[in-house]
Amino acid sequence: MVKLNENIRILRKRLSITQDQFAQRLGIKRSLVGAYEEGRAEPRLELLQKMAEVFSISVDQLISQDFSQQSPPGSKPDYGRGKEVLVVTVDSNQRDNIEFVPHKAAAGYLNGYADTEYVKELPHFHLPNLRQGTYRAFEISGDSMLPLMPGSIIIGEYVENLNSIKSGKTYVLVTQREGIVYKRVFNYLEENGSLFLVSDNRQYAPFQVSGSDVLEVWAAKAYISVQFPDVAEKSDVSVEQLAGVVLDLQKEILQLKSKK
């Protein structure tokens, strides 16, 4: 089934223009372009005709031809096509910010990850203890990566080459079919062109993604969470045992003081 929103996004990117530049050619707001590319709205016939003119195709081709199955002349699938327009905002001291992708913005990010204007509009913040690099933060959902809780924010460093993925390490992957996922990755690109994705919560089955399906990879470097680990559940030592240890220490301190 042909998806008009995907055709619009694919054809715009083939022209190497941003959503803002495309909107200017059409005489509309950039936010409308984003809505069309995310499938939240559909353009009227008059606007479809303008789009078709920009893409140098017919309206019939725009709405009925599946451009996701085609490549422009002379091109080939290439991981990291968004790398050329990957932007990093800076704070008032010219330090790199970390753009944040909340869970509710995940679908929009799949369309706008390579769009400079879209990335600039993402929420952003700065952490002082990360080494030089390009970082992005992603909010995770679900419990597939326990003990990290749903709502935790994973901060990842951009990976320029898929082959540099280290098996057994955790990464955020932006993929065409699975969306944005945070998993432990095992690299089998040389053997069969795939990545094997494993959840730390073993109730979830592992699965594979093709290297050609991957849009971006971010190596997990840190995380932010408002939920602290439950010691009683994550440790062999119970809360009662810990309380006993504290009482014993208090007794020892009192005994030391009495000897002085």
Q: How confident is the model at residue 8 (pLDDT cuts 50, 70, 90)?
A: very high
Q: 185-220 burial, b for 16+ CB within 10 Å, e for fewer?
A: bbbeeeeeebbbbbbeeeebeeeebebebbbbbbbb
Q: Return the minimum-mean-pLDDT range out of 10-14, 107-111, 228-232, 255-259.
A: 228-232
**Parts of the chain belonging to CATH 1.10.260.40:** 4-69
User: What is the fold of 81-224?
Assistant: Umud Fragment, subunit A (2.10.109)
Q: 134-170 burial, b for 16+ CB within 10 Å, e for fewer?
A: bbbbbbbeeebbbebbeebbbbbbbbeebeebeeeeb
Q: How confident is the model at residue 76 (pLDDT cuts 50, 70, 90)?
A: very low
pLDDT at 57 > cutoff 60: yes
Per-range mean pLDDT, top range of 94-103, 179-188, 250-259: 179-188
**Parts of the chain belonging to CATH 2.10.109.10:** 81-224
Full-model pTM: 0.64
Class for domain 4-69, per CATH?
A: mainly alpha
